[in-house]
Structures are given as C-alpha cells and as structure tokens.
Homo-oligomer: A and B are copies of this chain.
Amino acid sequence: MMGITEPTLLLDTRKCKANIRAMVAKARRNGARLRPHFKTHQSHQIGRWFREEGIDAITVSSLRMASYFAQDGWKDITVAFPVNLPEIDTIKRLAKDITLNLTTLDADTTRRLGEQVESDVHLFIKVDLGNRRTGIPPSDTAAIDAVLAAIDVYPLLHFKGFLSHAGHSYQARSKEEVMAIHTASVAALLPLRARYGARYPNMMLAPGDTPTCSVAEDFSQMDEMRPGNFVFHDLMQCQIWGCEKERIAAVMACPVVAKHADRHEIILYGGGVHFSKDFLELEGLGRSHGELVRLERDGWRSHTPECHLTKLSQEHGTLRVDAETFQRIQIGDVLGILPVHSCMTAHAMRGYLSVEGETIDHMNGERSSIASIRHQ
C-alpha cells in the first residue's frame, strides 16, 4: 500500500459490494424493498453499486444529502430526519423533481409544511420503538391520528407509512439481544397496519437499523428495510452482534510518526479529525478508537495479537502494541486501523481510496491528498 502520505480512508470494494449484495438478497427473500441509508457512504459512486443491484429508492439524513443524490439521478428519496421547516425552499425544489418522502411526528409542523409545498410530498410518520431519540410511541394513537388528520387536509401531502429506527439496538451485545429488539419492533409496528391499513391500503412499515437488519432473517411483514452502516460495517457492529471483522470494508491508513519504547506506544498521524471521537469500551482494555490490521497490496488482514488505538487527540492517535509488534513497526510505515464507527469516519474523511487505487467521491468533497494519490 504505497503512495499514502496522510491519513486516508481505504475501501475494499469487493467486501463493500459483497455487503451490498447480501442485504439486497435478504430484502428480496422477504419481499421487502431495500431502501438503503446513504448517510454512511455519502458517495455517488458507492450509490451506483447499489443501483447495479437493482436498488432504485434510498434514504438520507438531510435535505442537503437528498440534493446530492438527486443530482446523480436518484428519483425516490426518503429523508429519515424530522421535517426541518427553515429549509422549505430546498423541500419545494426537490419535491418538483423527485418522489420526496419526508418524516414527521407533529401535526402543527405537518400543517405548516402543507401550507407551503407546491408539489406532491410523501410523509412517513416517525414512530419511536424504544430508542427515545425522537418519534411518536406507536401506542399514542391520538398523536398519530392528529398527524394523519393534518396530512389529510392538504391534497399535496400523502401519507406513506410508519418509519422507525430501533437505534437502541446499538446497546445490544449479542445476536439474541438484537433479535429481541427486532421481535419487539415488529410486534409494535404490526398493530399500526391493523389500525390504519384499511384507511391507507398502500401504507408501508419501514424499519431500519444495521444490527436488526443484519441479524434477523424475517422481514416478511415489513415493506421496507433502511439500514445504512452495513455497506462498510465497523468495530461497533462487531461488538453489538458479532459481525465478522472480515466484513468490514473500510480501513484507515495512517503514517507512523513516533514510537515510545517505555510504554510500547506507536504515535500515528490520525486523530479525532480523521476517525471522529467515537470509541468502544472493551473489557480489560478501556477505550478503543480502532484496531490494527496488516495492510497488504490488495487490502488488509487481521493482526495478531489484537492492538488498539487507545487515545485520540486532534491529529495524533496512540496505538498500544505488544513488544514484538513494537519492534517490527518503524517510523514512516503506514498502518491500517479498523474504524469504530464507519459512518462518522467516512464523514470526517470526505473521500475514499479503493485498494485498487481509485479515488471515490464523498458529498463533502474529495481531499486533495486522495485526488493526487497514485496506487503503486
């Protein structure tokens, strides 16, 4: 892996495409539509790999991101984030060009939206299945009825269904715990179809988070699946449900800039501005901001023994290693580090380099270092 001079986010395109194909196949087996969340990769090019597998509808987390993907020809986009009224001009512009699905949980906001839109806008009602970030509890049918009543007043607003994100699955630490959340989520969503299905025969149930979509097999009663992180996976998925580390498709490449023999610490050029500050708590180790892998010509493989990035400041990362690894690593080497949270790392890095040496776009602009790298 030559030619890398600065922290760089490497992408194993084969692993990434395999992750995509596996999730597409699972959705197909279930007769559900995969509407992948593109906030993880934020890339036109990676989006096209989904299109090649037959995907034609996507999820994003901001109107800015919706605009970016509309530019690349996506015509059916769900913004899985509560309607942000100050961006009404962007909403109007997008609704003219594409099938725009927004997310609401509030009757008054829905009315204010209805009064301003000039083209069809489709609305999911966000339900809270226990994550307690945002959404209406599915049992609060009075609040749901109020939003539906607001939608029905405006001919340009169309109720599309119920959207959920069981983000509390990120607290799980086994497949069994993830399965329990999936089972409870389905059980909470189905009564909504029983109650509202006759009135809205096309209404959809649209859950989506990578842990449940990775672990559970049965989505046959769901209409859409909206996971995002699975496109890369990361150490957090490994901790939550035992995702095999071999499936992680993105790795940070960081130059070694110092060594401290007294404590077997390697200092990397790679800090919080590159990885983001997310961390895992690992038993017996404390915080991990990433795990060492061996970079090779065509990708990477696991490193034995496990070595972790234990501290991050703005530009520095501290990697703690065993004595033998310490001897082998030299200043000027470039090391591979599996990310803890690939969505945040990709957002921070704003571009990718494939292991084949191609640069891959990110919404927030390629880093000039990546643009100028040639794989040798």
Contact = CB atoms under 8 A, between A and B. Distances in A.
Interface of A: 4-6, 39, 61-62, 64, 81-87, 89-90, 105-106, 108-109, 112, 132-134, 167, 255, 257-260, 263, 267, 269, 272-273, 276-278, 311, 313-316, 318, 331-332, 334, 343-344, 347-348, 350, 364-365, 369
Given A4-B86, A315-B62, A344-B277, A267 B133 contact: yes
Contacts of A82: 257-258, 267
Nearest to A42: B273
14 contacts: A5-B89, A6-B62, A6-B64, A82-B267, A84-B255, A85-B331, A133-B318, A134-B257, A134-B260, A134-B316, A272-B344, A276-B277, A277-B278, A314-B344
Given A86-B334, A134-B257, 7 more contacts: A61-B315, A105-B258, A106-B331, A134-B267, A272-B276, A314-B347, A364-B365
Contact of A86 (B86, B108, B332, B343): B332
Nearest to A137: B262
A255 B369 CA distance: 34
B369 A269 contact: no
A61 B347 contact: no
* Copies of this protein in the complex: 2
Contact of A81 (B108, B109, B257): B257
Contacts of A64: 6, 369
Where chain A touches its partner, the secondary structure class is mixed
A133 to B, nearest CB: 6
Given A6-B64, A82-B267, A273-B344, A106 B314 contact: no
Given A269-B84, A277-B278, A314 B331 contact: no
A260 B131 CA distance: 13
Contacts of A365: 364-365
